[in-house]
Amino acid sequence: MSTKTDTFASLLKPFGLSDEEAQVYLFLLEKNFQSALEIHRSLKIARTKVYRILDKLHEKGLVAQKKEGTGLRFGANSPQQLELLVAAREQEVQTLRATAPMIMEKLAEVLDQKAQQSETLYYTGREGLKQALENALEAKDAIYAYEMNTLASFVERDFAEEFRKNLANRKVVLHQLTNKPQLEAFTQVERFIKESWQVRYLEPHDLKIEFEVLMYNDVYVLYSYKDGDVFCLEVHNEHLAKMQKQLFLFLWQRAQRMKMLDDQGSAIVDVKIR
């Protein structure tokens, strides 16, 4: 195409015309009625493709066709036809605006139904547990946990310390129940101990903790160390998580508070405080 034709073709793109559709329309606008063969030879566009282009231009009202003795010939309609294309586009936009609220509502219902569906994920090994712990950082404000051992019993200490830093940075509080009346120091992340950790002692006769458990948002996570490997189960279910959280808070009220002995996690049951 010439530079001039190139420029005109680019101007037609906003009206929904492709480069080749614009070429054909401008060619017919200049040459009047032409056959598909003549268009093919002049513009070097495959003949079968020329017919497809002409059909699209005809649908848009930009091309007329007439039958002569030698077959069909095609010609360009007035450029004013572009105004009709604009009007059609405006009508489409108005329709979208009118139907958008209803469509958004329906899509929201689909998402809500999906959110209510249960999903169970299984993880094995340290890497699997680390993934589950990283997922727990999505907790909105709190994590509720039954703990038997420190996190470093399952994953590398550096990872455990980074996890605690992230909880503190995200202002997520870890509420921990333990059967141990005395805890040894386990972290150097003092901010975690001061701002993001609460721990209480639960008598084993009230509940003997035999699995590590985390609860947050609508997620219930259970993990343990067995046969030399870590096994982790992550259940996404709103009703299960809600019920388990209620049970946890019931036990939390029965549990004894623990006195912090330092900023590294050392703690002991304080018999003076219930």
Average pLDDT over residues 72-93: 83
Average pLDDT over residues 217-230: 83
Average pLDDT over residues 76-94: 81
Q: What pLDDT is attached to residue 119?
A: 84
Fold that domain 119-269 belongs to in CATH: Endonuclease; Chain A (3.30.870)
Q: Which CATH architecture has domain 3-82?
A: Orthogonal Bundle (1.10)
For residue 198, report the phi and psi dihedrals to the nearest 5 degrees.
-130, 135
Q: What pLDDT is attached to residue 116?
A: 56
118 has a pLDDT exceeding 80:
no
Average pLDDT over residues 203-227: 89
- For residue 163, what are the CA distances in angstroms to 88, 116, 138, 151, 180? 56, 28, 12, 10, 22
In this structure, the chain runs to a length of 274
In the chain, which segments carry CATH 3.30.870.10? 119-269
Q: pTM for this one?
A: 0.57
* Least confident span in 1-15, 58-72, 157-171: 1-15
Q: How far apart are CA 268 and CA 201, in angstroms?
A: 9
Average pLDDT over residues 236-245: 91
In the chain, which segments carry CATH 1.10.10.10? 3-82
Q: How far apart are CA 4 and CA 158, in angstroms?
A: 66
Q: What pLDDT is attached to residue 174?
A: 97
Strand 256-260 to 267-269 pairing: antiparallel
* Amino acid making up residue 225: Y
1 has a pLDDT exceeding 60:
no
Q: What pLDDT is attached to residue 12?
A: 81
274 has a pLDDT exceeding 60:
no
Task: State the helix-helix crossing angle for 3-12 and 19-31, rounded to 10 degrees.
Answer: 120
Average pLDDT over residues 134-155: 91
Average pLDDT over residues 27-31: 88
